[in-house]
Structure 1
Amino acid sequence: MNGPSSQEKHPMAGFPQVCFIKNVVKNPNIVIGDYTYFDDPEDSEGFERNVLYHFPFIGDKLIIGKFCAIARGVKFVMNGANHKLSGISTYPFQIFGNGWEKVMPGPCDLPYRGDTVIANDVWIGYEAMIMPGVKIGNGAVVAARAVVVCDVPAYTIVGGNPAKPLKQRFPPSEIDILESIAWWNWSIEKITHHLDKIVSGDVKALQSCVDNE
């Protein structure tokens, strides 16, 4: 056996609160990798409701890699949440029309931080909040209820509001090795064969799987 099918919505029999969300997301500006799951006992297929202020006319994307674990209550705040900051008032008069549309801001007037990108094998804890344009590296961990306003390096644990680095999961030299191995891009057969090495803490053992091929 080579693990569950990445095409299954609910890979755990009798446990619908876990969903491989690539199979249910419809928004073309939300891109999800294989085996990334969302855990929500109320509606695990309704992941898109947690992507906030994601207006199609803005065009920003939420990109999430493979093998990510996303806990219930996680929110992704997109660029549509931003108000004009250069004026005296930040109130969005223009959205109510009736003459107020005359102060419609131009595209350059609104803060824009680009796409939000979550790499591979990232664990995002309960009720964490990811702000617009944040980049989270491979193997990172976001603690419960963290508010992530800045980029997170690979294999780094962050927590707090605003989220700050708490520790690196591996020494820099081993992080470089893990980044080059990129096990999440292996075939599912190869992942299954070397699963004991992937879940161990022995980076050299995982590297030997590549060196011995």
Structure 2
Amino acid sequence: MFSLNGNLKTHMKIHTGEKTLKCVVCKKMFSQNDLRKHMRIHTGEKPFKCEACDKLFSEHGSLRRHMRIHTGEKPFRCEVCDKSFNQIDVLRKHIRIHSGEKPFKCEVCDKMFSQNGCLWKHMRIHTGEKPLRCEICDKMFSQNGDLRTHMRIHTGEKPFRCEVCESTFIQKSHLKTHMRMHTGEKTFKCEVCDKLFRWKRSLDKHMKHHSEQEPNKYAVCN
């Protein structure tokens, strides 16, 4: 029982979620329970500790989600492909693979992305930002994948192997190009005469032949 009507009203705000309390640091409004949690952002307080790895968390919910890393629990299942995830946010991102949803748009070229992180990395193409540095030769890269591929030059790693002749390559695209030697596939087509070529360099050389002939196309015979 509450002795005063005012105390009852204050208590009821816990249930209603009414935001009547202001953070003295950033002036945002919160309910009583949420303000207590929010203040830990400013104080840096992390009272919840993982007993497995000693990592600290500001909220019990964050600790609970973190514990799934140690337990292997994956309670969120994709109803399309049955793949399971340890966090609901990761499942939501995964669902976009099936739905084709791409809610994040590049304001420069209108390209769409399923994840904000992918858009963020894509923007480096437009800004020219290259925040990733090779620690061996200081060359800069915009994407983690490009840096990883570059590092193979220094390590000598060639993880892509041709199953026909056992040649190895740094990049998958190099293996794909190499395979045309064995398959005879010709993917590069001349738009002038429809002739097909196995290599782009062969097509480029062939196109010069057309460009040399072009000035004579309209020549007048004497």
TM-score interval, normalised by the smaller of the two chains: under 0.3
Relative to the length of structure 2, the TM-score reads 0.21
Structure in which a larger fraction of residues adopt helix: 2
TM-score by length of 1: 0.21
Greater length-normalized contact order (CA 8 Å, ≥ 6 residues apart): 1
Larger radius of gyration: 2
| Greater per-residue strand proportion | 1
